[in-house]
Amino acid sequence: MADADSSGPSIDTNLFITVSGPPGCGATTLCTQLSEAMDCPYVSGGDIFRELAEDRGLTLNQLTAKADESDEIDRALDHRLQAIAETWGATNKPFVLESRLAGWLADNRADLRIWLDAPEEVREQRVGDRVETTAEMRVREVSEAGRYQAYYEIDVEDRKFYDLHVNTARWTKQGVFDVVRAAIETYDAEADEGAFPTVPVDVDQ
């Protein structure tokens, strides 16, 4: 079945949603759809990282190498994302935040935390036509995981606190959106018995 041309009806919600996952998981597509349907802003950690690279005249791979040498780049990025989460978490308005650590950085401000993934060969095909090569994608994944563990004692493999896990290789882009939309539209705060707790991340330490 081919993907639909639009995400469908708008979503009437005030939820703060985080979306996380490895490169090629489909996060950009989903976040764009959610932002349009919810009529709300969407901030991507990847876009901020790319802006940092452009500001420094570096490729993504070069900036990743720089980040391996010092915690300054990671902490600057994460500090900005955490500040955004704090601001929007207090507004009671819909918002979408996407990054590998979005669910951690948003802490209990997030109403719904989503993890997207797909088999490695699928993700490799998806990033094949991007500026970042498959090899660079793998390097970045391993490098980021090591840095998160070293700086914040975060194990990115620990995903139990995510409210929704979706293998985006199993549905079309529209299908993935429909799954997430159903979760948003059927969410009932009064029936919510509680999210898994997360440990606050001190990005300034």
pLDDT at 111: 96
What total of structural domains would you count in the chain? 1
pLDDT-based confidence at 59, cuts 50/70/90? confident
pLDDT at 133: 66
pLDDT-based confidence at 66, cuts 50/70/90? confident
Q: Which residues contact 144 (CB under 8 A, 6 or more apart)?
A: 64, 100, 156
Residue 55, domain member (yes or no): yes
pLDDT-based confidence at 7, cuts 50/70/90? very low
Does the pLDDT value for residue 4 go beyond 70? no
Domain containing 171 equals 16-186
pLDDT-based confidence at 50, cuts 50/70/90? confident
* Gap between the Cα atoms of 59 and 116, Å rounded: 25
Tell me, what CATH number does 138's domain have?
A: 3.40.50.300
Residue 6, domain member (yes or no): no
What's the distance, CA 100 to chain centroid? 5
Does the pLDDT value for residue 98 go beyond 70? yes
> Residue 132: what are its φ and ψ, rounded to 5°?
-80, 125
Mean pLDDT of the chain: 89
State what percent of residues in the chain have pLDDT above 70: 93
Averaged pLDDT for residues 77-90: 93
Does the pLDDT value for residue 104 go beyond 80? yes
Helix (H, G, I), strand (E, B) or coil at 92: coil
* Gap between the Cα atoms of 121 and 128, Å rounded: 10
Q: With contact defined as beta carbons under 8 Å apart, do 96 and 31 qualify?
A: yes
Q: Please write the tens of the pLDDT for every residue from 105-151.
A: 999 999 999 999 999 899 988 887 665 667 777 777 888 888 899 99
Does the pLDDT value for residue 1 go beyond 60? no
* Gap between the Cα atoms of 81 and 190, Å rounded: 29
Residue 69, domain member (yes or no): yes
Sheet holding 95-98, edge to edge: 42-44, 95-98, 16-20, 112-117, 164-167
Residue 5, domain member (yes or no): no
Q: Which helix (H) or strand (E) holds 134?
A: helix 134-152
Q: With contact defined as beta carbons under 8 Å apart, do 101 and 154 qualify?
A: yes
pLDDT at 36: 97
Q: Would you tell me how many other CB atoms lie within 10 Å of the CB of residue 70?
A: 9
pLDDT-based confidence at 64, cuts 50/70/90? confident
Q: Would you tell me how many other CB atoms lie within 10 Å of the CB of residue 76?
A: 14
Averaged pLDDT for residues 151-174: 94
pLDDT at 49: 86
Q: Which residues contact 51 (CB under 8 A, 6 or more apart)?
A: none
First to last CA, the chain: 49
194 phi-psi bin (left φ>0, alpha ψ -120 to 50, beta other)? left
pLDDT at 203: 87
Helix (H, G, I), strand (E, B) or coil at 176: helix
Residue 21, domain member (yes or no): yes
Residue 104, domain member (yes or no): yes
Residue 203, domain member (yes or no): no
Residue 198, domain member (yes or no): no
Q: With contact defined as beta carbons under 8 Å apart, do 180 and 37 qualify?
A: no
